[in-house]
Amino acid sequence: MITETAPPEARTERRHLDEGLVRNLGLVGVLIILVVIGIITRPELYSDPTWVRNNVLVILQQAAAIGVVTVGMTFVIIGGGIDLSVGAIIALSGVWATTLATQSYGAGGMIFTALVVGIAVGVVNGVLISYGKLVPFIATLAMLVSARGLAAQISGKQTQVSANDTINGIATTKLIGVPLLVWILALVVAAGWVLLNRTTFGRRTVAVGGNPEAARLAGINVKRHTLYLYALSGLCCGLGAIMLTSQATSAQAAMANLYELDAIAAAIIGGTLLSGGRGTIVGALFGVLVFSTITNLFAINNLSTEVQNMVKGGIIVAAVLIQQFRYRSLTQLLKR
C-alpha cells in the first residue's frame, strides 16, 4: 500500500539523487570488502606502506586499458546498443600499428594507425547497424570474428614485437609518481563523464537509447548518432590497443581476448541499463576497478586464473542481484 507522507515532489527528487549515489556507494563497499579480504589473507604485505602504495598503482595500471574500452562500451550500451567486437578491434589495431611498415613511421605513425583503424572498424559496425539495420549483437559478433581473422592474417599469427622506445616507454613512464597509463585512464574517464553529462552528444546518447522513436520524432538523427557511438567505441579500442601494446612491448592477433565480456560486465555492474537510456561513467570505472582488484587479490595469494574466472562470474551475478534487490527495496522504502 502506498501511503504518502513526504510531499511527492521531494520524494521523487530524492529518489533520483539516491539511485546513482547508492549504486556507486555499493561498489565502493565491494572494493573495501575486497581490500579487507586482501589484508586478512596477506597481512604481512599490507603492513608495508610502500607495498600498499605500489599495489594500488598496479591495480590502477591493470585497469587502464580495459577502463578506456569500458568508457566507450558504456556509451554504446547507454545508446541502446552493444559492441561485442572491442577485443577484436584492439587486436586488429595493435597488430596493424606494429607491422614493420607502420613501425617505420615512428611512434606518431603507430599511434595514428591504431586510432584510425579503431575508428574505421567502429564506423563499419555503425554503418551496418544504423543503415544496414543489422541487430548490434549480430553485426559486432561478425566483426569480432572477422577483425581477429584479419589481425591473424596481417601478423601471420606471429607476435609482433614493438621496437619503438617511445611506444614501449608509455607503460613505464611515471608522472608525479603515477604511471602514464593511469593518467590516460583518468583523462578518458573525465572526458567521458563530461561528454555524457554536459554535452549535446551525451544528451543525444541518452535520448537515442532511452526512446529512439521519441528522439527521432524530436528531430534527432538517430542513425547518425548510433554510427558515432560505435565510432567512439572504436576510438577507445584504438587507444586501448596502444596502451596494451606498450605494456607488452608487442601485439598479436590473440591480444585483449574476451575484453568485450569484461567491458560489458564492468558497465553493467556500474549500473548501466543493458536496454539503454541509463548509465554512468563513474559506475563503469568502479566496475572495472572491482575486477582489477579481484585479479590482484588472486595474484597476491598465488591462486590460479581458473578459480579467478569462476569467482568473476559469480561476482557479476551477485552484483546484479544485489543491485536489483537494493533498487527494489529502495523504491519501496521511499514509497513508504
Partner 1 sequence: MTAAGESVTGEVVLRLTDVVKTFPGVRALDGVQLEVRAGEVHCLLGQNGAGKSTLIKVLAGVHHADDGEISWLGEPFAPATPQAAMRAGIATIYQELDLVDDLSVAENAFLGHERSRFGFTRRRSTAARTRQILGRLGHAEIPPRRAVRALPAAGKQIVSMARALSHDARLIVMDEPSAVLAHDEVANLFRIIRELTAQGIAVIYISHRLAEIREIGDRVTVLKDGRTTAANLPARTTPTRELVGKMTGRSIEYVFPPRRELTPTEPILVVEGLTRHGEFADASLAVAQGEIVGIAGLVGSGRSELLETIFGARRADAGTVTLAGRRITGVGSAVARGMGMAPEERKSQALLLDEPVYKNMTLASFAGFAHGGFTDARDERAASLKTADLLDLRPRDVDRPARTLSGGNQQKVVVGRWLLRGSKVGGTKLLLLDEPTRGVDVGARAELYQVIRGLAEDGVGVLLVSSEVPEVLGLADRVLVMREGRLVHEAPADELDEDTVLDLVMAGSLLEGEPT
List residues binding partner 1 (CB under 8 A): 8-9, 12-13, 16, 198-203, 206-207, 210-211, 213-221, 277-278
Q: Smaller CB distance to partner 1: residue 7 or 43?
A: 7
> Closest distance between partner 1 and the C-beta of residue 41, in Å?
41
Q: Crossing angle, helix 136-155 and helix 106-130, to 10 degrees?
A: 150
Among residues 123, 113, 215, the alpha carbon closest in space to that of 164 is found at 113
Angle, CA of 18, 276 and 74, to the nearest 5°? 80
Q: Rounded to whole angstroms, how far apart are CA atoms 282 and 270?
A: 7
What radius of gyration, in Å, describes the C-alpha atoms of the chain? 21
Write the burial class of residue 208 (CB in 10 Å: 0-12 exposed, 13-18 middle, 19+ buried).
Answer: buried
Q: Which is nearer to partner 1, 95 or 207 (CB)?
A: 207
Rounded to the nearest whole angstrom, what is the least distance from the CB of residue 205 to partner 1 in the complex? Answer: 12
Pairing type for strands 178-179 and 160-161 reads unpaired
Reduce the DSSP state of residue 98 to 3 states and report it. Answer: coil
Phi, psi of 134 (to 5 degrees): -80, 150
If the CB atoms of residues 28 and 333 are measured against partner 1, the closer one turns out to be 333
Distance from C-alpha of 70 to C-alpha of 325, rounded to nearest angstrom: 25
The nearer residue to partner 1, 15 or 326, going by C-beta atoms, is 15
Measured from the CB atom, the residue of 240 and 277 that comes closer to partner 1 is 277
Cell digits of residue 211: 526512446
Q: How far is the CB of 12 from partner 1 (least distance, A)?
A: 4
Closer residue to partner 1 (CB): 17 or 318: 17
Q: Which is nearer to partner 1, 42 or 216 (CB)?
A: 216
Report, in Å, the least distance between residue 331 CB and partner 1: 12
Which of 328, 319, 252 has its CA nearest to residue 290?
A: 319
Q: How far is residue 169's CA from residue 314's CA, in Å, rounded to a whole number?
A: 36
Q: CB of residue 209 vs partner 1: minimum separation in angstroms?
A: 9
Please report how close the Cβ of residue 222 comes to partner 1 at its closest, in angstroms. Answer: 9
Helix (H, G, I), strand (E, B) or coil at 250: strand
- To partner 1, the closest distance from the beta carbon of 199 in angstroms equals 5
Compute the least distance from the CB of residue 36 to partner 1, in Å.
35
Q: How far is the CB of 192 from partner 1 (least distance, A)?
A: 15
Of 91, 99, 143, which is closest to residue 257 (Cα–Cα)?
91
What is the three-class DSSP state of 251? strand
By beta-carbon proximity to partner 1, the closer residue of 89 and 188 is 188
Of residues 2 and 175, the one with the C-beta less far from partner 1:
2
Name residues whose C-beta falls within 8 Å of residue 37's C-beta, 6 or more positions apart in sequence: 297
